[in-house]
């Protein structure tokens, strides 16, 4: 059983070299890319610090650049600013890379020091890149694992029906 994203990826791969004027004239390829963007957006995590809207842009083939920001907290649980980050995600291979804005982190720490911050309320950003990676990995892995299990199960059913 294919998910909506899987079917959009297959459609993209099959139509990548389609030069039919009717297909191109109807915006066929752009429609497929737009639909893949929507599905990628559904996979990405929301909440728990990632409480802004995702901005997703198509790079090439099945690769998307996804931008968001993390709502940072200090050690007391008070919000202290936003840290931008970017995820480059390949929907076909399910591989991704996370880049965190070092400038935003520096700004938050500079603001904290400028206000004479005490150590007891320092921003907690030391392992933000690791936290984001694990959060994204959990969201994307859930999709990959669940869909792989469904696909394998459906494939076995299909094979057993052929053998009967």
Structure confidence at residue 50 as a pLDDT band (50, 70, 90): very high
DSSP character string of the chain: ---HHHHHHHHHHHHTT---HHHHHTTHHHHHHHHHHHHHHHHS--BTTB-SPPEEEEEETTEEEEEEEEEEEBTTS-EEEEEEEEEEEETTTTEEEEEE-HHHHHHHHHHHHHTT--GGG-B--TTHHHHHHHHHHHHHHHHHHHHHHHHHHHHHHHHHHHH-
Nearest in space to 15 (alpha carbons), one of 2, 34, 28: 28
Q: What is the pLDDT of residue 119?
A: 61
**Region of 23 on the Ramachandran plot (φ > 0 left; ψ -120 to 50 alpha; else beta):** alpha
Structure confidence at residue 164 as a pLDDT band (50, 70, 90): very low
Q: In angstroms, rounded to a whole number, what is the distance separating the alpha carbons of residues 18 and 20?
A: 6
Q: What is the pLDDT of residue 64?
A: 94
CB-based burial label for 8 (10 Å; 0-12, 13-18, 19+): buried
Determine contact, residues 89/68, Cβ cutoff 8 Å: no
- Write the pLDDT tens digit of every residue in 51-102: 899 999 999 989 999 999 999 888 788 888 899 999 999 888 888 889 999 8
Q: In angstroms, rounded to a whole number, what is the distance separating the alpha carbons of residues 139 and 145?
A: 10
Determine contact, residues 29/11, Cβ cutoff 8 Å: no
Structure confidence at residue 16 as a pLDDT band (50, 70, 90): confident
Instruction: Report yes or no on whether pTM surpasses 0.85.
Output: no
Q: Where are the domains of the chain?
A: 4-163
Nearest in space to 54 (alpha carbons), one of 97, 83, 86: 86
């Amino acid at each position: 059983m294919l998910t909506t994203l899987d079917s959009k990826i297959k459609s993209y791969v099959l139509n990548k070299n389609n030069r039919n004027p009717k297909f191109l004239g109807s915006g066929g390829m752009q429609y497929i890319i737009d639909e893949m963007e929507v599905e990628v957006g559904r996979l990405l995590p929301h909440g728990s610090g990632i409480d802004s809207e995702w901005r997703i842009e198509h790079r090439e083939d099945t690769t998307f650049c996804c931008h968001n920001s993390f709502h940072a907290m200090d050690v007391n649980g008070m919000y202290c600013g936003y840290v931008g980050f970017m995820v480059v995600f390949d929907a076909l291979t399910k591989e991704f890379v996370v880049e965190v804005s070092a400038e935003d982190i520096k700004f938050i720490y500079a603001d904290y020091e400028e206000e004479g911050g005490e150590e007891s309320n320092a921003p907690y950003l030391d392992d933000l890149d690791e936290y984001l990676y694990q959060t994204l990995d959990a969201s994307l892995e859930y999709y990959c694992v669940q869909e792989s299990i469904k696909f394998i199960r459906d494939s076995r059913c299909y094979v057993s029906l052929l053998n009967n």
